Every structure is written in structure tokens, then in C-alpha cells.
Chains A and B, each alone.
Chain A
Amino acid sequence: MAETKYIGKTIPSKEGARHATGRGLYTDDFTLPGMLHAVILRSPHAHARILKVDPQAAREPPGVFTVVTPEEIEKKTHPFKPGRYAAGLKKAIPEYAGAIGKVRYVGEPVAALAARTRGAAEDALELISVEYEPLPAVVDTAEAMRPTAPLLFEELGSNLAWKGSLHYGDVAAAFNQADKVVREHLKIHRYSSTPLEPFACIASFDAASKKLTVWVNAQVPEVIYDALREALGLEDVRVIIPDIGGGFGQKIHLIRKYVVLISLLAIESGRPVKWTEDRSEHMMAAGHSCAQEFDVEAAVKNDGTVLGLKFKEIDDVGGSISTLTIHFTNKLNNLSNTYRTKNIFLEGCSVVTNKCPVIPNRGIGKPGMCFIWERMMDRIAQELDLSPIEVRSINLVQPEEMPYTTPSGNIYDSGDYPALLKRALEKIGYEKLKAEQRREREQGRLLGIGVVIGVEPGGRNAARDMAIFPEMKESPGSGGVNGATIKIEKNGTVTLFLGSPNCGQSHETTTAQVAADILGVDPEHISTSTPFDSDLAPWGVAAANSGNNFHLYDIGAVHGAASRLREKILTLAAHVLNAKSEELAINAGVVQATGSPLKKISFAELGKIAYGNQALMPKGFEAGLQATFYYTFPHGEPNLVPGPEGLVRAQFTFSAGAHVAVVEVDKETGKVHVLRYLIVGDNGAVINPQVVNGQIYGSAAHGISVALGEGFVYNSDGQLLTLTLTDYGKSSTMETPRIEVEHRPSPSPFTTLGQKAAGEGAAIPSPAAIASAVEDALRPLGVRVRELPLSPEAVWKLMQEAVR
């Protein structure tokens, strides 16, 4: 594009004021006439058979309208179709919106009721009587895989619900040629993003037309749309997504169960029904990231070159089969990280346990994959007595190799990884810090510097999972599609209809900047239509607030729609002004012929013509000033759909970042203080620096908090001990270090504006950066950091063990 007045600039957030002043409209803000309030009865047991549910007493109090029990859920709804993450199951296992026959985790929904007020509903909930036969809980993957372990799903015959592997290159040869094999066992724990707003939905069913409308704070309309049609057998479903108080993956998957339950209550009661989840419900049952364990081996040359990598992964997927492989298959997205290693073997084991099901969360398996690489890089450096920077440097993909095809078929669009690393070291003053560290160590202070690097993939490819399930019966689709519509109204203002909902990442601002530059208007004069409405929005499969889709599909669609509309404006203006469209320019909503100051016309005047004055339109001109564009990634081939070799582009764009953490460990208490945290990042061409920085701050803060202690803890009976935010231990702004950010963009040659992803990037390398820094701080003690979280007690124990 010739001029970019707005793209690349920080302009004030268009939706920020609304959110910051309490003017946002969230699902819970809506009230419909006659609306009832629902609550969910949840399992108090980690594992139990449901013998009997008696709702009678709960139906009696005044104000209670409807109670649905497992029996009714089984009778009146259908199980969800096994999605792509359950494609590897030996036997299909029907999964309903509520527990049928058995409960498999604390908090699993068992029954639901609707009453006139929330208080009455909560009172009545205590009157539902459920007889359980408690079964032994399985909370540990090793325990779960023992032949004598109690089974969560008897029909599978094992708690090892899935096992599979992928092989790229010649791993055996790599290990034969190696000077040394470096081994490590690594672990990442369960955590979540704990969005400020838990799940919420309102369901309203019109019995006459059989149309179901739901308002829900879901990140992916398709999941809700399909779930309601599958489970309730309805055709006509409308999904409205108002403002969302944070997503991060949390609101993609399990939320569908509740939308089905609440819709069932609405259908049964004949009234609209609202449900707002409370915090403890969210903590116990809304989904956790997966605890992952890795046995890793790296085949290395004496100079640090990694010839091959093998890892076996054990995933603790909790008490559901519907997201069985999600953390494993996401390893394909950043399988090589920033490195040139050609030979990689990976094996996954998905083990069901009596814990909350796992769900996507800020990068899904990608923080785990980055953790594997970056821990190994440090380990290799130690074992070969090289510097950790040297080992990383010798393995980095070089800028002249871009676009670079990874062994699993990803194509890295652009990037200069050595420059990111170099700049990060310069900016942090690495050599000086090292000298300071040596001096301070003599004084007994434990300072550590962790340097890591990671890619951040963006833009989903629905066909990815076929690499591990070539036998997949129903095609998951491929690539992605999303649309946008732009309209100039009669009065000249511009309205933008996005194809996807917005979780608070300033989509309204960023898209307005793109449209503003193309159309020649001020972004202030562009308004975005909210909420998302599946009846109106030009949405496709990538209308998903996940997978870092926005930069690719939404920006692509807005760019396409705005470009189309610009053509239309110029055609009409050229006709009216009696000029050639090539000589026209648009500025501040006025079309002007260059060199003829009198030949100009405003959007408002054009609007009047386009919507009301046929005589002034050119022949064959379609009335109105509106354009819609559905975007697919134009460079999707090769490796769009995996062939027999399993080569696939798991995602399409690759941002990257070098992270440096400087920490001090309190040698008495084990508490880790983050003294500095620096990111030098490549997010491609940045549309709004402040918006991108916001994404980076948030995801880095989360990753750091994850590394330092936030997380879920279960006891040996499968009871969740972290039911509140207090117990869960998330860092507040008070404990979050200042995050320094510098952009070193390498624009993507494949995307509309050179843009890349930014949504989850800093959450991917930051756990590894903290681990690396803590290990470096404890080097005088010979400590090796193998698992997260590094809570004060965990660090203290590492020090104690080292001293012994």
C-alpha cells in the first residue's frame, strides 16, 4: 500500500474507554423478559458411579421452574461428535453435556436447574439428592497406566487412552553420528489463564420457529454452533458473542457443555435462562492446561550442533477424551523451535486421570515444546562445557535460509534469529551482567541470567491433526477461512463487521487502522459492529479467537473487503466527478481528483447517491457501498494437507522472540525475584505497537507467573485444593516485573501487510526463560532445573538436595 497514515502507529484504543469505564456489555449484563437463572450441580467426587439422582425436593420450592438430571440429559440430548482431538480413540466414547452413569472429576456437571432468581436456584440446588458410589481416584499418570489401576473409561480397557508417534528425517542415523547423547527428564504442571470473566451464557428458544438464540462469551462461534446443533438436534441456531472478559483459550472448548445444558433448561422451561459461572466452578471444571512430562534425548556434536532430537511425552489429560491429543499435536506447531535440527522423533501418550479435562491455553503444547528445546540447549552447553549462547547460535536457522522448511513441513516465512539473540544480549548488557554475577557470587548472592529464544506460530491450519491421524474419518478441513464486511453508510460513516468475536485484544482498533488507510478515512470515523452475531457476521472456520488467527484471517479479510470497497468508491466518484479513477485520491473521507481542486466529493455525498439516487450511478453499478471479503491464506501450499510423510504446515506465520530473564534467588527462602525481563521480538510488520506490546506484556506476565508458582494442585483423592484465586496463586501486577520490549520486525512475505502473530508469543518462551535463569543462579550449587513451577518451596528443596 502506498501510504500508511495509521498502520504502524499507536493510536488510542477504540474499545479501551468502553472497557475501562465499565461501559462494556458482557453476557451477564443482558436481561431478557421473564428470564430465569440457572445453576449447575457438580460432582463432589473425583471418581464415582452415579447410582441415583432424585430431583423431587428441588422441584418444590416456589420459583423453581426446571431441573434436568443425567437421565433427562441422556434422553433429550445427543452426545457431541468426537472432534479431531479424539480421532485417535480405539473406540468412540459418547460424551454428553453432563455426566452420564459416572463422574470422572471434581466439578463435573451432573444436573442443572433454573429458578426465578439466582439465590433461589442456589438454595434449590442443595435439595437435589444424588447417591454416588465412590470409586478410587486416579490422579497420577504413572499410577493410571498400571495394569491394575481403576479405569476411567471401562470400554477403553486402559487409562492410556492414546499412544502415537511421528518421525521426521533419519533419527537413528543422527544418533549414530553423534559425539554425545544428552538426556533429560522434564515436567510442566497444570495451570490456566483464569480470565477475569468466567463462563456465561443466556439461552432463549422460540418454540414456534424452533430457533435457538444464545448469548455466550465463547471464543470460537463454530464450537458453540456445532455443539448446539449436534446435541439438541436443532437446525436454526444463532450465536451472539458480546464483549468477552478474557479468553486465552479457556473459552473455546468446555464452555459448549454449559451452553447445551442452559439451552436445554430454556427449551424445557419455555423461558430464557441465564447462567454465570462462579470463580470456583471455573477453577474446578472450566479446563486446565495439560501437565506434561518429557523424556528427551538429543544427539549432539562436540561443537554443540544438535543432529537429532527424540522425546516421549506423557500428557495428563484429565477426565475427558475430547481433547486427548491437543497438547501433543500442538507440538507440531513449533517442533523445531528456531533450530535447524533435521531429525526429530516424538511419541505421545495421553493418559486419562480423575482431574479436570485439559483445554487450549495460551499456546497449548507450544510452551512445552519450547521448554524442551531451551532446557536441552542449557543442558547441552553444560555437558559440552560450552556457553549456552554458543550452543543456541550454532543451531539457529539463518536469515538467508528464509523461507525455511522445517523437517515436519512448517515453512518459516521470515526472521533473523541470530540478530534477535544478539540484540537481546547487547541490550541487557550480557557480558557486564556475567561479570557482576561472578562478583556477587563471591558475596553469596545468587544471581542468574536466562537467555532463551522461541518461535510463535500464527494462523491455524485445520488439516494439521491429519498428520497424526491419517485415518481420520471426517475431514477436519484445511487452512482457514474468515470474512469481513465494510460498509459506508448513507451519512458517510464507515461500519466494519468483523468475522470473529473479540476477547479484549483491541481488534476494533487494529482493524480500523487497516481499513482507515485503505479507505482514506480517520479510524475515529470507523465503527465496529458489536456484538458478534452469527446471523450477520461474515464468519468462517477461522472465526476463532484462538490459534493466533486474528492477524492472518481477520486482517486479511478486512484488507480484502476495504480494498474492494475502495474500488467501488472510486468507480462511483469517477463517474460523478467525470474523472478517471486512476487520478483520484481519498483523504479524510473525501475523494479528490489530483490537479483539479474543484473535482471532489465526500463519502456522505457518495452515500446519498449510492443509497438513493439511481440517476447519478454509472451504468451497471451495484447500488450501495458495501463489500465483503472472505480470506484464505494465499500461500497455503505446499504442505497444506499432510501427505504420507506427515509433512504439514501446522501454522502459517512465525513470529519469534529472544527473552532474557535476570533473577536473584533468596538463598534462605528459595524465593525468586525477577530483576529484569527483556524481550526482543519479531512480530512482523506491527500495525499498532501499543496493542502488540499489550499482548506481549500480558502473555509474558502469565508465563513468568506460571514458572514461579501459579497452578492447580490436587490431593491424592483427586480433590482440587486450589479452588479460589487466592489458593491458585497467580501473580498480580505487584509481583510482575517490568517487561522491556524491543521490536525487530521481519515482515512476513506471505501476509497482506507483512504482519505476524502476537497473541500468545511471550507465554511460549517465558517459562523456559525463568527456568534457565533460576538454574543459572543456582549453578554454584550444581542444581538442575527440570520441572515447573519454581515456587519458593520448590527452589528451596532444589537447594537442599544439592547441598546434601
Chain B
Amino acid sequence: MIPASFEYYSPTTLKEALDFLSSREDVKILAGGQSLVPLMKLRLAKPRTIVDLSRIPDLNYIREQGSRIVLGSMTTYEQIETSALLQAKCPLLPQTAAVVGDVQVRNQGTIGGSLAHADPAGDMPAAILTLAAEMKAIGPNGERWIRAEDFFVGLLTSALEPDEILTEVRVPALNGAKTAYLKAAQRAAGFAVVGVAVCLRLDQNGSCNNLAIGVTGVGDKVYRAEAVEKILLGKRLDANFIEQAAREVTRGVDVIEDINGSKEYRSHLAGVYTVRAVKAAMQA
């Protein structure tokens, strides 16, 4: 119930934070703490050093930058959920942020924290992958941009190096693309047993000329349902056709199994939610 003892640093500049990261042992970054703190309380995580990013002033923003929107990594779910800019230009992020955890989690949790944690049932990673976003990491050797498809490496593992900090997330302004995020929520905490994010465009004839589907909760990391995308792309999306295509959503994926769903049930749910999310996006 009480975490093992640790050193706590609360730097006010990014540089200071990076210094702690490279000079201390066994460091964990605190970016909202909605996943880390419970793990520490259960003593499942016992980092020796905590570097809290909350006092660094310039990590919390949502701005338009040309054809893109950039978000500071310490932007909270609540800020994303209520951002007029995102609602207008990249609604998938607010749609997703709105169904994360509960009000307390949304007030505390941050987009950077969620992405770096790389929870295979995380909501935000599904949206980020679907949007083909890019993540800016800053380390001792300067900054680099990591594409979403390269960012989520495996179970609770991202492409960030131990001495890097995720500072910014860059998503495209969607200019009218239709999006939706739907999930089968676990009863008590509401996390995704299966979650599906969809971003699509339809041409004048009603054919789908742009489609991305991100799936969470199903494999050991979030993934794009490429098999489904391939089938639907360039076609008119009638109900039967979507249903047929959605059966491919777990193709090539080693579907996980836990108390919230067997392999068989999860695979089935992934199909159901793919259909529902595609339909919801079409009607968005």
C-alpha cells in the first residue's frame, strides 16, 4: 500500500529533467501517474528515482502548426477532450480521451504518460496509431521524431530510450475525415477489453479512399488492422461488406487472453467493434 522508498525530483526545465535521467539509476518518469502510482503502491514497480515532469512549464499545450496539430506530452485527457481545436480538426483525439478511465483519471492522466506506458489496452495508443502521429523524443543527443508505427514496440514497451523524454505529439489536421473510437469497456474500470479507432474518408461516390483502423486490447501491443483496411479501401462500405472484412481484424495477431475475455471471445469482439467503429465513423 505504501511504495518502496524512492528519490523524488521535480525539475522545472527539460534540461534538468534530462540530466536526472542520465545521472540517476533506475529512473521512472512521472507524467500523471495514473498507471505508475498504483503499480508502485502494489510494489509491482519499485523505481529508485522518480522524475516528475509536472512542473516543467512548456510541456502542456495544444496548438495548430500548419497542416498539423501539436500537443505537449503533459497535456491531460481532460484538456484533449474539451479542446475546441481538436474537436474541429482532429476529433478522434477528443472522442478517445472522453472515454478514458473516469473523471479523476482524465484530470490527472496525460497523453505522453499513456503513450510511453504503451499499455496494450490503452485507448490513446489506438488513436495515435490510427492518426499516424509522430512523437518527439528528446535525449542527451538532441531530438528525434518517432513514427507511431515504430513507437509501440511490445508489451508495456515503447521505442523511447531510457534517457529520452517524450515531449510532443504531432497529429495531422483531418480536414473532414470521419473518425470514431468505440470500445467494449471492462465493467469496473472501463479499460478496453477491445477498442477500435477508425479514421476514414469517403469520396463523392461513397467509396472509401482513405482508411486507418487501430486496435487495442487484443494483442500484446496496439496494431493497425491492415488486412481489414486493405479489403475495404477503394470500396463502397455496405454493411455486409464491412462485416465480412472485419473478420480479418485479428489476422496474424496473437490474441491475448485474461479474465476479461478468452482468445475466442476477444477475437469475436474485435470483429464486432471493428464493424461498429467503421459504421460510427461513417455516420460521424
**Binding-face segment, B57-65, B182-190, B197-205, B207-215:** B182-190
Hey, what's the 0/1 contact readout for A94-124 against B, CB within 8 Å counting as 1? 0000000000000000000000001100110
B4 touches A123 (CB 8 A): yes
CB of A721 within 8 A of chain B?
A: yes
B188 touches A730 (CB 8 A): yes
CB of B269 within 8 A of chain A?
A: yes
A residues 687-736 in Cβ contact with B at 8 Å: 708-710, 713, 721-722, 725-732, 735
How far does the alpha carbon of A708 sit from the alpha carbon of B187 in the complex, in Å?
10
CB of A669 within 8 A of chain B?
A: yes
A122 touches B265 (CB 8 A): no
A729 touches B188 (CB 8 A): yes
Size class of the contact patch on chain A: 20 to 34
Q: Closest Cβ of chain B: how far from A195's Cβ, in Å?
A: 16
B187 touches A730 (CB 8 A): yes
CB of A796 within 8 A of chain B?
A: yes
Given contacts A669-B269, A713-B259, contact A732 B184 (CB under 8 A): no
CB of A280 within 8 A of chain B?
A: yes
B residues 156-214 in Cβ contact with A at 8 Å: 184, 186-189, 191
How far does the alpha carbon of A727 sit from the alpha carbon of B269 in the complex, in Å?
19
B265 touches A796 (CB 8 A): yes
Q: Closest Cβ of chain A: how far from B163's Cβ, in Å?
A: 29
| From B5, B188, B261, contact of A726 by CB (8 A) | B188
How far does the alpha carbon of A735 sit from the alpha carbon of B102 in the complex, in Å?
13
CB of B262 within 8 A of chain A?
A: yes
B residues 36-57 in Cβ contact with A at 8 Å: 42-43
CB of A605 within 8 A of chain B?
A: no
How far does the alpha carbon of A730 sit from the alpha carbon of B187 in the complex, in Å?
7
B187 touches A710 (CB 8 A): yes
| From B2, B188, B259, B272, contact of A668 by CB (8 A) | B272
How many A-B pairs have beta carbons closer than 8 Å: the answer is: 51
B188 touches A793 (CB 8 A): no
CB of B284 within 8 A of chain A?
A: no
CB of A792 within 8 A of chain B?
A: yes
B1 touches A732 (CB 8 A): no
Which residues of B sit under 8 angstroms from A60, Cβ to Cβ? none
Residue of B whose beta carbon sits closest to that of A792: B184
Q: Closest Cβ of chain B: how far from A725's Cβ, in Å?
A: 6
Which residues of A sit under 8 angstroms from B268, Cβ to Cβ? 796
How far does the alpha carbon of A735 sit from the alpha carbon of B272 in the complex, in Å?
21
How far does the alpha carbon of A80 sit from the alpha carbon of B187 in the complex, in Å?
39
Residue of A whose beta carbon sits closest to that of B268: A796
A722 touches B259 (CB 8 A): yes
| From A119, A722, A725, contact of B5 by CB (8 A) | A119
Residue of A whose beta carbon sits closest to that of B266: A793
Hey, what's the 0/1 contact readout for B81-122 against A, CB within 8 Å counting as 1? 000000000000000000000000000000000000000000
Q: Closest Cβ of chain A: how far from B200's Cβ, in Å?
A: 21
B2 touches A119 (CB 8 A): yes
Q: Closest Cβ of chain B: how far from A262's Cβ, in Å?
A: 16
B187 touches A709 (CB 8 A): yes
A residues 726-763 in Cβ contact with B at 8 Å: 726-732, 735
B184 touches A669 (CB 8 A): yes
How far does the alpha carbon of A732 sit from the alpha carbon of B189 in the complex, in Å?
9
How far does the alpha carbon of A458 sit from the alpha carbon of B269 in the complex, in Å?
44
Which residues of B sit under 8 angstroms from A801, Cβ to Cβ? none
CB of A278 within 8 A of chain B?
A: yes
| From B43, B186, B272, contact of A729 by CB (8 A) | B186
How far does the alpha carbon of A796 sit from the alpha carbon of B193 in the complex, in Å?
15
A793 touches B265 (CB 8 A): yes
B1 touches A122 (CB 8 A): yes
Which residues of B sit under 8 angstroms from A796, Cβ to Cβ? 265, 268
How far does the alpha carbon of A119 sit from the alpha carbon of B191 in the complex, in Å?
30
Total interface residues on B, CB under 8 Å, equals: 20
Which residues of A sit under 8 angstroms from B258, Cβ to Cβ? 721
A721 touches B259 (CB 8 A): yes
Which residues of A sit under 8 angstroms from B259, Cβ to Cβ? 713, 721-722, 727
B residues 1-47 in Cβ contact with A at 8 Å: 1-2, 4-5, 42-43
Which residues of A sit under 8 angstroms from B5, Cβ to Cβ? 119, 123
A731 touches B265 (CB 8 A): no
How far does the alpha carbon of A464 sit from the alpha carbon of B72 in the complex, in Å?
67
Given contacts A669-B269, A713-B259, A722-B259, contact A118 B187 (CB under 8 A): no
B187 touches A793 (CB 8 A): no
A732 touches B188 (CB 8 A): yes
A118 touches B2 (CB 8 A): yes
A residues 662-703 in Cβ contact with B at 8 Å: 668-669, 671
A278 touches B187 (CB 8 A): no
B186 touches A726 (CB 8 A): yes
Residue of A whose beta carbon sits closest to that of B265: A793
Q: Closest Cβ of chain A: how far from B94's Cβ, in Å?
A: 20
A726 touches B2 (CB 8 A): no
Residue of A whose beta carbon sits closest to that of B2: A119
How far does the alpha carbon of A721 sit from the alpha carbon of B272 in the complex, in Å?
27
How far does the alpha carbon of A726 sit from the alpha carbon of B258 in the complex, in Å?
13
A residues 31-71 in Cβ contact with B at 8 Å: none
Which residues of A sit under 8 angstroms from B43, Cβ to Cβ? 122
Q: Closest Cβ of chain A: how far from B283's Cβ, in Å?
A: 18
Residue of A whose beta carbon sits closest to that of B261: A793
Interface centre among B4, B187, B191 (most CB of A within 10 A): B187
Q: Closest Cβ of chain A: how far from B32's Cβ, in Å?
A: 17
Residue of B whose beta carbon sits closest to that of A731: B187
A793 touches B262 (CB 8 A): yes
B272 touches A669 (CB 8 A): yes
Residue of A whose beta carbon sits closest to that of B276: A668
How far does the alpha carbon of A118 sit from the alpha carbon of B5 in the complex, in Å?
12
Which residues of A sit under 8 angstroms from B1, Cβ to Cβ? 118, 122, 278
Q: Closest Cβ of chain B: how far from A674's Cβ, in Å?
A: 13
Q: Closest Cβ of chain B: how far from A313's Cβ, in Å?
A: 26
| From A669, A671, A721, A725, contact of B188 by CB (8 A) | A725
Which residues of A sit under 8 angstroms from B265, Cβ to Cβ? 792-793, 796-797
Which residues of A sit under 8 angstroms from B42, Cβ to Cβ? 280
Hey, what's the 0/1 contact readout for B261-284 against A, CB within 8 Å counting as 1? 110010011001000000000000
Which residues of A sit under 8 angstroms from B184, Cβ to Cβ? 669, 671, 792
How far does the alpha carbon of A119 sit from the alpha carbon of B4 in the complex, in Å?
8
Which residues of B sit under 8 angstroms from A722, Cβ to Cβ? 259
How far does the alpha carbon of A589 sit from the alpha carbon of B4 in the complex, in Å?
59
Q: Closest Cβ of chain B: how far from A276's Cβ, in Å?
A: 8
Q: Closest Cβ of chain B: how far from A378's Cβ, in Å?
A: 26
Which residues of A sit under 8 angstroms from B272, Cβ to Cβ? 668-669
Which residues of A sit under 8 angstroms from B262, Cβ to Cβ? 793
Which residues of A sit under 8 angstroms from B4, Cβ to Cβ? 122-123
A728 touches B188 (CB 8 A): yes
How far does the alpha carbon of A722 sit from the alpha carbon of B268 in the complex, in Å?
24
Which residues of B sit under 8 angstroms from A726, Cβ to Cβ? 186, 188-189, 191
How far does the alpha carbon of A731 sit from the alpha carbon of B259 in the complex, in Å?
16
How far does the alpha carbon of A671 sit from the alpha carbon of B182 in the complex, in Å?
15
B residues 98-150 in Cβ contact with A at 8 Å: none
Which residues of B sit under 8 angstroms from A729, Cβ to Cβ? 186-188
Hey, what's the 0/1 contact readout for A782-804 against B, CB within 8 Å counting as 1? 00000000001100110000000
Which residues of A sit under 8 angstroms from B191, Cβ to Cβ? 726
How far does the alpha carbon of A772 sit from the alpha carbon of B42 in the complex, in Å?
40
B2 touches A735 (CB 8 A): no
Return 28 A-B CB contacts under 8 Å, by A number.
Answer: A118-B1, A118-B2, A119-B2, A122-B1, A122-B2, A123-B5, A278-B1, A669-B184, A669-B269, A709-B187, A713-B259, A721-B259, A722-B259, A725-B188, A725-B189, A726-B186, A726-B188, A726-B189, A726-B191, A727-B259, A728-B188, A729-B187, A730-B187, A731-B188, A792-B184, A793-B261, A793-B262, A796-B268
Q: Add 17 more A-B contacts to A728-B188, A729-B187, A735-B187 (CB < 8 A).
A: A118-B2, A119-B2, A123-B4, A123-B5, A280-B42, A671-B184, A710-B187, A725-B189, A726-B186, A727-B188, A729-B186, A730-B187, A732-B188, A792-B265, A793-B262, A793-B265, A797-B265
Shortest 7 CB-CB contacts between residues of A and residues of B = A278-B1, A726-B189, A729-B187, A119-B2, A793-B265, A668-B272, A729-B188
